[in-house]
Amino acid sequence: MAGNTIGRMFSLTSFGESHGEAIGGVIDGCPSGVVLDLNQIQLELDRRKPGQSKLVSQREESDVVQFLSGIFQNTTTGTPIGFIIKNKDQNSDDYDHIKDQFRPSHADYTYYEKYGIRDHRGGGRSSARETACRVVAGAIAKQILSLHKVNVKAYVSSVGDFSLQKKHTEVDFNLIDKNPMRIPDENFASEMIEFVDEVRKNGDSVGGEISCVVSGCPIGLGEPVFDKLNADLAKAMFSINAVKGFELGSGFEGAKMSGSKHNDPFINEGGKITTKTNHSGGIQGGISNGEDIYFNVAFKPVSTIMKDQTSVDTTGNEIAVTGKGRHDPCVLPRAVPIVEAMTAITLVDHLLRNRTTKI
Amino acid sequence: MAGNTIGRMFSLTSFGESHGEAIGGVIDGCPSGVVLDLNQIQLELDRRKPGQSKLVSQREESDVVQFLSGIFQNTTTGTPIGFIIKNKDQNSDDYDHIKDQFRPSHADYTYYEKYGIRDHRGGGRSSARETACRVVAGAIAKQILSLHKVNVKAYVSSVGDFSLQKKHTEVDFNLIDKNPMRIPDENFASEMIEFVDEVRKNGDSVGGEISCVVSGCPIGLGEPVFDKLNADLAKAMFSINAVKGFELGSGFEGAKMSGSKHNDPFINEGGKITTKTNHSGGIQGGISNGEDIYFNVAFKPVSTIMKDQTSVDTTGNEIAVTGKGRHDPCVLPRAVPIVEAMTAITLVDHLLRNRTTKI
Amino acid sequence: MAGNTIGRMFSLTSFGESHGEAIGGVIDGCPSGVVLDLNQIQLELDRRKPGQSKLVSQREESDVVQFLSGIFQNTTTGTPIGFIIKNKDQNSDDYDHIKDQFRPSHADYTYYEKYGIRDHRGGGRSSARETACRVVAGAIAKQILSLHKVNVKAYVSSVGDFSLQKKHTEVDFNLIDKNPMRIPDENFASEMIEFVDEVRKNGDSVGGEISCVVSGCPIGLGEPVFDKLNADLAKAMFSINAVKGFELGSGFEGAKMSGSKHNDPFINEGGKITTKTNHSGGIQGGISNGEDIYFNVAFKPVSTIMKDQTSVDTTGNEIAVTGKGRHDPCVLPRAVPIVEAMTAITLVDHLLRNRTTKI
Amino acid sequence: MAGNTIGRMFSLTSFGESHGEAIGGVIDGCPSGVVLDLNQIQLELDRRKPGQSKLVSQREESDVVQFLSGIFQNTTTGTPIGFIIKNKDQNSDDYDHIKDQFRPSHADYTYYEKYGIRDHRGGGRSSARETACRVVAGAIAKQILSLHKVNVKAYVSSVGDFSLQKKHTEVDFNLIDKNPMRIPDENFASEMIEFVDEVRKNGDSVGGEISCVVSGCPIGLGEPVFDKLNADLAKAMFSINAVKGFELGSGFEGAKMSGSKHNDPFINEGGKITTKTNHSGGIQGGISNGEDIYFNVAFKPVSTIMKDQTSVDTTGNEIAVTGKGRHDPCVLPRAVPIVEAMTAITLVDHLLRNRTTKI
């Protein structure tokens, strides 16, 4: 195992390069007896696929998932779920010019140095195309969470220097998919659509933040000491391409507060123990406390831009890298289902692990 | 395994509650042939221990590590290194009054709900006392990294709303341990000492940030896809008590930049490939690129304060929780060696894993 | 992860049911830079496939492996190797009659009880068809071992009550594939071909033993205490369908000897330390000592027979199970490449792990 | 992790050398709420300790277990259980003469070659003293199994060339601890006591077999494909020092049978589905079927004998190794609790894992 598996009980092992024959994965530890809505899984994939709007890459990836095992008469059997997504529209020639180039802030250089060999076509294994496999596993995880009344919702909350002026508690999740930016606010979404289009015309890219909220999470998920629920969420998010930051609950702002302000007093609300505030972000001592889990994830601007840049090639010569191809000026809208997927995978894993806690 | 082990090849399994007989751990996968400076390990523990100054807890924990195996004539033998740190000065009676109380923002409630039983004495397993074991393993990891010319340095860079006005490249690491705040700037340190003392007098607590810099890291550490070096660092940091945020390289600020500004152009510096800027924070595609790895970690203010707070008890009655005992108004200085330890453990793990990459 | 992955550094995760669309797997941790002979991999699969002779199942499984990732220009890239083998000739209807039956000594009953649902077609996940994936991973492992001059050879050494009267040191490995029984002795092979044909005509099945020899194994493979090389080999063998026994070196006979006879004295043979005898079977203290590793694996007779048997159905009614379909009277010849594959996977895993032993 | 941990959910990580300060371990994943009989744990340790009779080593190891964490008011808390057993009576000088010697069939040579350094005192990490830690974890596992009405019983069934003439179904488990040989048959026990005493007088050692029976095991334990219950039991047994063979149910004899004889017909016994015979040994398709699980484990004669032997030293010189010290002529009686412990650990691990199988 060399880093291509996540999860201890509910796990995804993924494989595939962006321009090979197919990408795919194996979901192991999926409980038996889950009646799957296969159409819903495809819909999640569609949320991630390129070409949804002019804001994102115009590549036409069909991203049709094919299940090969583990599902019998639409029901999970408890055996591993193998699946593939064929790579179509794979113009490998598009990448011939970068065969010996190290594109700035891409993984070209590090892969080449680590492995001594590089499948240069479209970023190979380092391409975000791999995240489609996560969306498949995440879509199944979300259906399992649904059965337990747990809801995972992510949305774009910042683009470049601009931020949504709403707390997670004020957001109407129904608005998320109403616009191509996946911003749950019509006005702010319109502004950002214009902004990103401007960025695109300039041949540049822009980063931002995605916020995620988990409601209905049962108390008790997460293991001390190292496998705290927040620690596993942090890892899951940082395993997504282009992520540069993660903060839970009060986050970096919370670090500026005093303890007397930050502490969340417990109250008894009609027989249910809850907290007056939720700076903890739904996790205390690494274990979910039943309140909303919410966090922000920072994404850097994507490295592929349409401007010329300086770099070096494999022999160390300084070169110019030409912007070329079809790429995303802003990856955020497509990253929303990925953040949800990684969150759902992590939660289901801990849901199962928690079953072994008490005698 | 229920979350008390970290690391795949170089691993620490820790055990122990704050008021049991001892805490301790097992370091498995430590390579043989490392000639250890045992005194240096104790010095790292002393950096973490309470009672170093009036800024931190006045409990006198002796924190003397006793090695029980895996070391023969000061040299590691390749077999597991078992160790214990006895708990002294353990006034369990100090905690009798909280036996049935859920202290705000502590782990009392979640542990009780998860396990159905709670060792209430001093936070039990959720106490930060457990981190002493990490410092032991981290101190050994740092000695291994030293042999590979890798250097890990952490320091306090923010306290409450105040921040050190220096980039990580401008910091003189020799100043870190010159003051009890572990701030590598004499003036700012003096101000913060006064500030924290004020907080202490108010019976309150305050959070802040710790920055960490890894220099000399070889190229190639980190595994795609899920075990990216940054993903494992994020998990390692978020496994530390009170951490609410983690950002690598440009971090949350980087999310506001355009791709053309954020990208790090490769240059050839006298035969060595390096980057002009380092917004990537030394990691690209999840793999170290040889540049400095740097990141910030946000800590919330510690939950234990000397003010009265409202809460509920195990039967759901609303109660007043009285501040009592000896605690840290600001945990940051003592967390510096912990951040270094978790960083070092993660790096050594990936150093060993990387040996299996090429045929 | 629910048991479908083997290996810690070099690992195989397999998926697939006998009558689903395809079986397949992911090999993670394969070192980069291995120039693969893809034809050789297919040849190993051919050694396992049914229909090779009248001694084994007459099903015509094509068993063509398709690699989807991890190999670029015939060379491993260090990224996961995904592969599938399509299921053809899958007459699911053949199995309609057993839909509600628990066939004696099959896994029908235990799967049904464990999962609450059963893909009854051809044994589903419990079918030995899954072992084709192991042969793929094993064939790659064998090519890696070849680069390190390690040789893995298995052969049929017993059939029913009849045993090959040759020690492993007297066997000519070149004879193994000269006959359909994979017995490295022309006369004994002929006798056994007749014997198995008799068993087939009776509609019955027969078990036996496979012996395996590893030569050229480097000193030092295997980890104390729990991951001893012999412990991991025992697990690998017992993970193969129908295995009932495993013995290393002197094995069960060795238990009858006195220590003074059993001990293997070290000798210096022209500067090379070796042992006069090899009752240890090449492993001491769980670690390879450079001598031949040899072991025997006992296989029970396959459960599917062409005779009628009594059993119960899913509602507990007593029923008669009718023998029907195309099956192996003796699985041993086809199991030879599987034993080799599991041995090779285990050895490569430990070869890589051993690289992390010394500083 | 370098092989010193066993179990995925219920796990033991052990540490310690025979002549260091202490051995010990960490049990992680023990469910909370188990009310422990600590005295019973000590009794299991006493069954393993040397000096119980003249048949086994006369070293006086006190083997008193000290629990350091994870138990509060005699009840498990769900946090890791750390424990140590101090090494007393550790005459390291006894071993000075073998400092540069490779004792035949010991692990001296392989450890030296693997690690480049050797703690020669009493075998160091390779000493069977480490198994005391397994007995501690196993004793806790047995108490958990008791709550689920599962019973694990092991006994000596062969010594050298002599075998107990009773099937496992005919054995009265109450007789096991009635004699120092742990043979559940008074007459055969007496004969073997005499036989072993003869061996001891000759300065030699003798091997044999231990049989183990698990009754009351719930249906459904074990994971396909690689973590079959039998595969994990095989590994657990082969991780014990001196084990050379493992067979489940019909075992090596079963390999000689025809399918029609070997198959276990299902029957309905008053509403309960059971099998007429139990050649399967209680496991089908890697999953427990509710019948008795039974298996045999072959132990080679212990390597330490009181006779002079030839060998080589670390510089390759041929030498004579002198028998000296206090050792076991027959390790079997002391290995009985170890076999039970490893069985119990494996079963509890799968008991917990099985809770995640169904939605």
Q: Per the CB < 8 Å rule, is A223 touching B3?
A: yes
Best of B9, B10, B359 to mutate (most C CBs within 10 Å, chain C) = B359
With beta carbons less than 8 A apart as the criterion, state whether C121 and C93 touch: no
- In this predicted model, what pLDDT tens digit does every residue of B298-349 receive, in sequence order? 999 999 999 999 999 999 999 999 887 667 899 999 999 999 999 999 999 9
- Within 8 A of B220 by CB-CB distance, chain A residues are 110, 113-114
All residues of chain C having their beta carbon less than 8 Å from the beta carbon of residue A29 are: 1-2
Is pLDDT above 80 for D89? Answer: no
Contact D309/D104 with Cβ under 8 angstroms?
A: yes
Judge whether D74 lies within some domain: yes
- pLDDT at position C330 is 95
Chains near A, with 3+ CB pairs < 8 A?
A: B, C, D
Report if residue A293 sits inside a domain.
Answer: yes
Q: Considering only alpha carbons, which residue of chain D is nearest residue B10?
A: D1
What is d(CA D218, CA D221) in angstroms, rounded to the nearest whole number?
A: 7
Given a contact as 3+ CB pairs under 8 Å, which chains touch C? A, B, D
Cis before B225 (ω within 30): yes
The upper half-sphere exposure of residue B210, i.e. CA atoms within 13 Å in the direction of its Cβ, equals 31
Instruction: Please tell me the least confidently modeled range out of B231-245, B290-304, D20-34, D98-112.
Output: D98-112
Q: Does D359 fall in a domain?
A: no
Whose tokens are 């990387």? That residue is B354
Residue A350, CA distances (Å) to A203, A343, B74, D47 in order: 42, 11, 40, 39
pLDDT band at D318 (very low <50, low <70, confident <90, very high): very high
Over range A263-282, report the average pLDDT: 96
The dihedral built from the CA positions of residue D92, D95, D96 and D99, taken in this order, carries a sign that is: negative
Residues A204-220: pLDDT tens digits? 999 999 999 999 999 99
**B interface with C, Cβ–Cβ below 8 Å:** 8-10, 29, 31-34, 76, 78-79, 144, 147, 224, 352-353, 355-359
Domains contained in chain C, number: 1
Q: Which residues of B touch A285 (CB under 8 A)?
A: 106-107, 110-111, 126, 241
Phi and psi for B177 in degrees, rounded to 5? -90, 10
pLDDT at D91: 63
Considering only the beta carbons, identify the residue of B113, B252, B259 that sits closest to A204: B259
Of C8, C9, C31, the CB nearest to B359: C31
Q: Which chains touch B (3 or more CB pairs under 8 A)?
A: A, C, D
Task: Tell me: pLDDT of A192 over 80.
Answer: yes
Q: Confidence class of residue A286 from pLDDT cuts 50, 70 and 90?
A: very high
List, in order, residues 6 or more apart from C143 with CB less than 8 Å away.
C34, C36, C37, C40
Q: Is residue B39 within 8 Å of B130, Cβ to Cβ?
A: no
State residue B119's pLDDT score: 82
Which residues on A lie below 8 Å from B115 (Cβ)? 357-358
- Per DSSP, the three-state class of D10 is coil
pLDDT in tens, A97-129: 788 999 999 999 999 999 999 888 878 899 999
Range of the domain at B304: 5-353
Judge whether residue A60 has pLDDT over 60: no
Judged by CB atoms closer than 8 Å, whether chains meet at B358 and C9 is answered as no
Prediction ipTM score:
0.97
CA separation (Å) from C8 to A176, B241, B307, B355, C14? 41, 30, 50, 14, 14
What is the Cα–Cα distance from D70 to D76, expressed in whole angstroms? 6
Cβ distance D69 to B1 less than 8 Å, yes or no, reads no
Residue A255's DSSP bridge partners are none
- Is the Cβ pair B21, D115 closer than 8 Å? no
Beta strands in B249-317 (DSSP E): 266-269, 272-275, 283-284, 287-288, 293-299, 309-312
Predicted confidence band of residue A96 (pLDDT cuts 50, 70, 90)? confident
Per-residue confidence (pLDDT) for residue B121, from 0 to 100:
80
Distance from CA of B78 to the nearest CA of D (A): 6
D331 domain-assigned = yes
Of B31, B33, B147, the CB nearest to C356: B31
D29 — pLDDT class (breaks 50, 70, 90): very high
**Are the beta carbons of B245 and A252 separated by less than 8 Å?**
yes
pLDDT at A94: 67
Peptide bond into D312 cis (omega under 30): no
Whether A229 and A284 have beta carbons less than 8 Å apart is answered as no
Which pLDDT score, from 0 to 100, does residue B60 have?
A: 56
Per the CB < 8 Å rule, is A359 touching D224? no
Q: Which residues in chain C land under pLDDT 70?
A: 54-61, 89-94, 325-326
Rounded percentage of chain C residues whose pLDDT exceeds 90: 87
Mean pLDDT, all residues of chain B: 94
- Cβ–Cβ of B117/D33 closer than 8 Å? yes
pLDDT of C91 reads 63
Torsion sign across C-alpha atoms A31, A32, A37, A39? positive
All residues of chain C having their beta carbon less than 8 Å from the beta carbon of residue B34 are 359
Q: State pLDDT tens for residues C66-77.
A: 999 999 999 999
C117 and A17 within 8 Å at the Cβ level: the answer is: no
Per-residue pLDDT at C275:
97
* C-alpha pair distances (Å), B19 with each of B87, B127, D280: 6, 9, 49
Query: Among positive and negative, which fits the CA dihedral C331, C332, C337, C343?
Result: positive
Reading the block at residue C235, the tokens are 């697990």
Nearest CA in chain B to C147: B359
Cross-strand pairs, A268 = A273
Q: With CB atoms and an 8 Å threshold, state whether D1 touches B7.
A: yes
Q: Please give the residue of chain A at the shortest CA–CA distance from B249.
A: A244
Q: What is the pLDDT of residue D98?
A: 80
Contact D147 A359 (CB under 8 A): yes
pLDDT at B242: 97
User: Which tokens is B90 given?
Assistant: 């353990």
| Residues A123-136: tens digit of each pLDDT | 889 999 999 999 99
| A113, C35 contact by CB (below 8 A) | no
User: Would you say C274 and D271 are in contact if contact means Cβ atoms under 8 Å apart?
Assistant: no
d(CA D170, CA D165): 10
Which amino acid is it at D333? P
- Count of positions (residues) in chain A: 359
What whole-number distance in Å separates Cα of residue C192 and Cα of residue C183? 9
Q: How far does B145 lie from chain C, in Å, by closest CA?
A: 10
Cβ contact, residue pair B29, C224, below 8 Å: no
Residue D82 is assigned to a structural domain of this protein: yes
User: What is d(CA C335, CA C49) in angstroms, rounded to the nearest whole number?
Assistant: 10
Task: Give the 3-state DSSP-derived string for chain A, with helices as H, strands as E and coil as C.
Answer: CCCCEECCCCEEEEECCCCCCEEEEEEECCCECCECCHHHHHHHHHHHCCCCCCCCCCCCCCCCEEECCCEECCEECCCCEEEEEECCCCCHHHHHHHCCECCCCCCHHHHHHHHCCCCCHHHHHHCHHHHHHHHHHHHHHHHHHHHCCCEEEEEEEEECCEECCCCHHHCCHHHHHHCCCCCCCHHHHHHHHHHHHHHHHCCCCECEEEEEEEECCCCCCCCCCCCCHHHHHHHHHHCCCCEEEEEECCHHHHCCCEHHHHCCCEEEECCEEEECCCCCCCEECCEECCCCEEEEEEECCCCCCCCCEEEEECCCCEEEECCCCCCCCCCHHHHHHHHHHHHHHHHHHHHHHHHHCEC
Predicted confidence band of residue D254 (pLDDT cuts 50, 70, 90)? very high
Within its chain, how far is the Cα of D135 from the centroid? 8
**Interchain pair A359, D79: CB under 8 A:** no
- Determine, for residues D31 and A224 on separate chains, whether the beta-carbon distance falls below 8 Å: no
Under an 8 A CB cutoff, do A355 and D358 touch?
Answer: no
C-alpha to C-alpha distance for D221 and A277, rounded to whole angstroms: 44
Single-letter amino acid code for the residue at C311: S
Which of A7, A15, A117 minimises the CB distance to C72?
A117
Task: Give the C-alpha distances (Å, rounded to integers) separating D77 from B4, D41, D73.
Answer: 14, 17, 9
Burial of C75 (0-12, 13-18, 19+ CB in 10 A): middle
**Nearest residue in A to B238, CA atom:** A231
The beta-carbon neighbor of C352 closest among B10, B224, B356 is B356
CB atoms C32 and B359 under 8 Å: yes
Domain contains D43: yes
- For residues D41 and D38, give the distance between their C-alpha atoms in angstroms, rounded to a whole number: 5
Q: Tell me, what's the pLDDT at C19?
A: 87
Chain C partners within 8 Å of D222 (Cβ): 3, 110
The answer to whether the Cβ–Cβ distance between C298 and D223 falls below 8 Å is: no
What pLDDT, on the 0 to 100 scale, is given for residue A33?
Answer: 97
Dump pLDDT digits (tens) for A70-86.
999 999 999 999 999 99
What tokens were used for A122? 């479209």
For position A89, what pLDDT does the model report?
Answer: 62
* pLDDT tens digits, one per residue of D219-241: 999 999 999 999 999 999 999 99
Q: How near does any CA of chain A get to the CA of B259, in Å?
A: 5
Sequence-distant (6+) residues with CB within 8 A of C253 are none
State the nearest Cα–Cα gap between B27 and chain A, in angstroms. 14
**What is the Cα–Cα distance from C225 to B67, expressed in whole angstroms?**
19
Model confidence at A243, pLDDT cuts 50, 70, 90, reads very high
pLDDT in tens, B8-58: 999 999 999 998 999 999 999 999 999 999 999 999 999 998 777 766 665
Is the residue at B190 inside a domain? yes
- Cα dist. D172→A183, B67, C32, D183, D338 in Å? 72, 45, 57, 10, 20
The H or E element spanning position B229 is helix B229-238
Inter-chain touch D235–C237, beta carbons under 8 Å:
no
Q: A157: distance to nearest CA of chain D, Å?
A: 34
Give the amino acid at D283.
Answer: I
Contact D173, D150 (CB under 8 A): no
Mean of the per-residue pLDDT values of chain D: 94
Q: How near does any CA of chain D get to the CA of A112, in Å?
A: 28
Asked whether the CA dihedral A160, A162, A167, A171 is positive or negative, the reply is negative
CA C111, CA B18: separation in Å to the nearest integer? 45
D196 vs chain A: nearest CA distance in angstroms?
43
Which chain D residues are within 8 Å of A357, Cβ to Cβ? 31-32, 78
Q: How far is A86 from chain C (nearest CA, A)?
A: 9
Residue B358 lies in a domain: no
Q: Which CATH number goes with the domain that contains B185?
A: 3.60.150.10
Question: Do residues A125 and C77 lie in contact, with contact meaning Cβ atoms separated by under 8 Å?
Answer: yes
The closest CB to that of D219, out of C110, C283, C316, belongs to C110
